[in-house]
Structure 1
Amino acid sequence: MNKKTFSFPTAYTVILIVMLIVLALTYIIPAGKYAKLQYDSSSNVFLVESPKGDLKEYKGNQKTLDELKVNIGYSRFKDGSISKPVAIPGTYEKPERPSTSILGALTTIFKAPVKGLYDSIEIIAFVLVIGGLIGIINKTGAFTAGINALSHKSKGKESLLIIIICTLVAIGGTTFGLAEETIAFYPIVVPIFIAAGYDALVAIAAIYLGSCIGTMASTVNPFSTVIASNTAGIDFTQGMTLRLIMLVIGLIICIVYIIRYGEKIKKDPSASYIYSQREELERQFLSNKNNEDAPEFTLSRKMILIIFALAFVIMVYGVKELGWWFEEMTALFIVVTFIMIFFAKLSEKEFVSEFMNGAADLLGVGIIIGLARGVTIIMENGMISDTILNSLSLGVAKMNGIVFSTFIFFVYIILGFFISSSSGLAVLSMPVMAPLADVVGISRDVIVSAYQFGQGIMSFITPTGLILASLAMVNVTYDKWLKFVLPLVIIIGVLAIVMLGLGVLF
């Protein structure tokens, strides 16, 4: 009689389990809310929502902020640097949470994923369009021809690919928060790494860890560093040296870690954590790798790949310099799709069919993104975010500076699990956390760095972030990723604590 072996659940099941856990926590953790302040630029007033939901209007000026003990310059609201609601220190209350029946709980658990899909529709549309475009390019044979050419040229220099890709993605992460956009890179990079003798985990790591360490040690990222510093009442250049050192050391550690694993796989493929999927992944990504009839790398195929690559350059420029977001990025790749008509040499029916097939391949990724957003919705409706924040901020007044910085780092690790939005966590927590630095006698930029390091390190593993969507691109289960990345998380975590301690001392 054959014993049934345990099979780790898919990304969908993992998120649903997390959703159930968070729903259960809303029955255990008391409801709590801070009063929230938001600036209305059209009428130049501050709107303050009390924990009970009552709205009150205040004059839009610095005096109002001073009276409410919100230590942020009025100009930050006026110029649009801070647009999300800001928690007002000292206003935490425990409003009564409406009692929910079993039917109500079931309604919540089933409606949350639907609301998550609605809230994430821009990202999902972006993913589907990218999938459709990749489907067309795959049909032309451009990827296969390019991969064959690249694999021949990179013989003996495969580790250079890891260094280049990881570094470029980290630069994007530290400057403008390159994260969700990297989903588009996996179908391109995975075949290159597999052709070079690595496994798919190396490709995922080069992109995902590059993004994680970049955003974790953000230097000028407007979605974390700038908004967190503004909300803390300091200039974003304060603490930049510390974060820049963290970026360089952390990136080197990540690259060395990936290369060591990759070289081990090249020497002994059976050492791969996903060795059992090797043949499946080679069929999926390298169908023509060893085929003598592999497509020739013609001028038209070169042009297809050049146009595709230029689209990413334009995307990066648009996000960083022009304020683009998913609507504009999706429109860009739709334009690129139409341009491909002139190079793909496909009939109208083939073109449309391959676009739809490509989009269908990434539909699961889009659903995972929506499900992850559903977790956040349950937590917001259950009013437990503010309770967790308030509980963790108590009892720090007598702490030593280094102990305090380490404590805040772990506070943000916990908060980072529940609140995956960097800007959302910044405006919620900084008005409460930043004044604690004054009490302990350290610079507020240490709080900003602790916020970035804590939330950033959670992004390496948290199922409510992007990792499950990234793993779904190559059908790798979450347990394999954890086995691969947890030693690195510990190393980076120790580095973060040391860097925060140095920030306190110097």
Structure 2
Amino acid sequence: MKKLKLPNTFVLLFTILALIAAATWLVPGGRYDTHTVDGRQLIDPSSFRHIAATPQGPVQLLMAPIKGFAEAAQIIGFVLIVGGAFAVLQKTEAIEALIRNIARAHRRSPAVRAALIPVFVTMFSLGGATFGMNEEAIPFVLLFIPLALALGYDSVVGVAIPFVGSQVGFAAAFLNPFNVGIAQGIAGIPMFSGMGYRLVVWVLATAVTVIFLMWYAARVKAVPERSPTFHLDQDKRHSMPVDDHAALTGTHRAVLWIFAAALAVMVVGVVRYGWFIEEIAALFLAMGIVVGIAGRLDSDTLVAAFVQGAKDLVGTALVIALARATMVLARDAHIIDTMLHGLMPLVASSSPVFAAQKMFVMQSVINFFIHSGSGQAALTMPIMAPLADLVGVTRQTAVLAFQFGEFTTPMIPTSGITVGVLALARIPWLTWAKWMVPLQIAYAVLALLLLIPPCLMNWQ
């Protein structure tokens, strides 16, 4: 097993692309009619029909990455700008000084050691559960990896705190307009209704994440060789500063306050004003400029740091483009609706509990191909909602099953966010996927169990 060389992310994604291209020659084309409701394209569940298939050959396979790049241009530009802004922030050395101080407090205070992971995971989970924190977690990976390494953990912990934390909050959301709000609106039930039970779901899902991560972090701290990224982290540790006694200067504090203010503005903008990628990218660009000035960087140093930071993330941009290309191939071949239609009969069951659990399994499968919360809601809920009526499942429960499908997002290689974060952290996808397996099993069991009470109490 030690001699088995696993393919890197690029090879893995291109293999998936090739498999999807091959599937387009076997799966017949299909289409649902759509209609517009409140500006959204919704599917008519009774309108499915087969259409001429459009198999994707070698030429289409090779064109898919550039199409994926074009369709993912916003998030790719966002990643490059954020990478540049963080490079400027790092150039001021304020983050390094902060990490040294936190590491010192972590060693000296049992309370800090006990609270650090639960507090931060809960904060990111709350962001996912309320304002749909998703791409917004990407910048924090650059901050938490060096922090985790300084505290004696590994890159996996540094990625998991912001990324898995925000994703589990997204999947177990109680006030997220991008999945709960849209799905409930399509299902014809009051928006954000059923919040009481969803709060219970969010608390339990977040608690499972915190417990697992604390258990893993303790094991890695005790025996660093247990980390799947142990060898990968050695170079990162060697490049970290060794002066553990340097204090925060006035310049460092000014830079950190500007950074904290930018994060606060981002939260307010997303929650209150509906900011998305363009506005957040503009905010980080402004932050990079102001931080550079406050950190007393001259213009040449500031620009060079920004360009280098963006340059370091070109690989991440290409990974995101390949991930989006998987959806482009399936869509251009007209097989997405066919696969969805073929899955529908599998929901039928003699028990509403089993029907709801089958909905969760189905949504998890669909999430492999369509991992946009709002996009998946628009595609599946027009079918799942009336289907729920037929199999004795309340529409509120059908929405919850749809949410739970998002539990697989931190692991699937077709998600641009997932592979982008891993490329940013320089963690191979297969290394990450192996680490995620126990947590994914825990999420699956939790989802199956949490779908039982709504069916028993006829949750409306």
Question: Would you say same fold, with TM above 0.5?
Answer: yes
Deviations 1:11-41 (A, max 9, x none): 22222122112222212221111001125xx
Between 129-138 and 223-232, report the one with greater CA deviation: 129-138
Choose the corresponding residue for 2:50, options 94, 113, 116.
Answer: 94
Residue type of the partner of 1:85?
A: Q
Secondary structure, aligned partner of 2:36: strand
In the other structure, the counterpart of 1:43 is none
**CA RMSD between the two structures:** 1.8
Choose the corresponding residue for 1:348, options 286, 294, 299.
Answer: 299
Q: Could you tell me how far apart the structure 1 residues matched to 2:349 and 2:455 are?
A: 15
TM value normalised by structure 2 = 0.94
How far residue 337 of structure 1 moved from its aligned partner, in angstroms, is 2.0
How far residue 175 of structure 1 moved from its aligned partner, in angstroms, is 0.8
Matched, 1:149 2:105: no
Native 8 Å contact 2:16 2:326 kept in 1: yes
In the other structure, the counterpart of 2:413 is 463
How far residue 85 of structure 1 moved from its aligned partner, in angstroms, is 1.2
Q: Could you tell me how far apart the structure 2 residues matched to 1:495 and 1:341 are?
A: 46
How far residue 269 of structure 1 moved from its aligned partner, in angstroms, is 1.0
Native 8 Å contact 1:158 1:196 kept in 2: no
Secondary structure, aligned partner of 1:5: coil
TM value normalised by structure 1 = 0.86
Identity %: 31
How far residue 407 of structure 1 moved from its aligned partner, in angstroms, is 1.0
Q: Could you tell me how far apart the structure 2 residues matched to 1:367 and 1:319 are?
A: 27
Q: 1:155-194 alignment to 2 at 5 Å? A: 155=107, 156=110, 157-194=112-149
How far residue 243 of structure 1 moved from its aligned partner, in angstroms, is 2.3
Q: Could you tell me how far apart the structure 2 residues matched to 1:475 and 1:385 are?
A: 31
Residue type of the partner of 1:20?
A: A
In the other structure, the counterpart of 2:12 is 14
Q: Could you tell me how far apart the structure 2 residues matched to 1:258 and 1:252 are?
A: 10
Q: 1:228-377 alignment to 2 at 5 Å? A: 228-284=183-239, 286=240, 288=241, 290-291=242-243, 296-377=247-328
Q: Could you tell me how far apart the structure 2 residues matched to 1:275 and 1:331 are?
A: 36
How far residue 494 of structure 1 moved from its aligned partner, in angstroms, is 0.8
Native 8 Å contact 1:242 1:499 kept in 2: no
Residue type of the partner of 2:40?
A: K
In the other structure, the counterpart of 1:207 is 162
Native 8 Å contact 1:281 1:474 kept in 2: no
Residue type of the partner of 2:44?
A: I
Runs of 4+ in 1 over 4 A off after TM superposition: 395-398
Q: Could you tell me how far apart the structure 1 residues matched to 2:413 and 2:347 are?
A: 30
Deviations 1:339-394 (A, max 9, x none): 12422222221111111111111222222222211111111111111111111112
Q: Could you tell me how far apart the structure 2 residues matched to 1:276 and 1:332 are?
A: 36
Native 8 Å contact 2:347 2:359 kept in 1: no
Choose the corresponding residue for 1:497, options 443, 448, 458.
Answer: 448
Number of residue equivalences: 453
How far residue 148 of structure 1 moved from its aligned partner, in angstroms, is 0.9
For structure 2, the 5+ residue unaligned runs are none
For structure 1, the 5+ residue unaligned runs are 40-76, 78-82
In the other structure, the counterpart of 2:427 is 476
Matched, 1:106 2:58: yes
Native 8 Å contact 2:100 2:246 kept in 1: no
Q: Which has the larger radius of gyration?
A: 1
In the other structure, the counterpart of 1:84 is 40
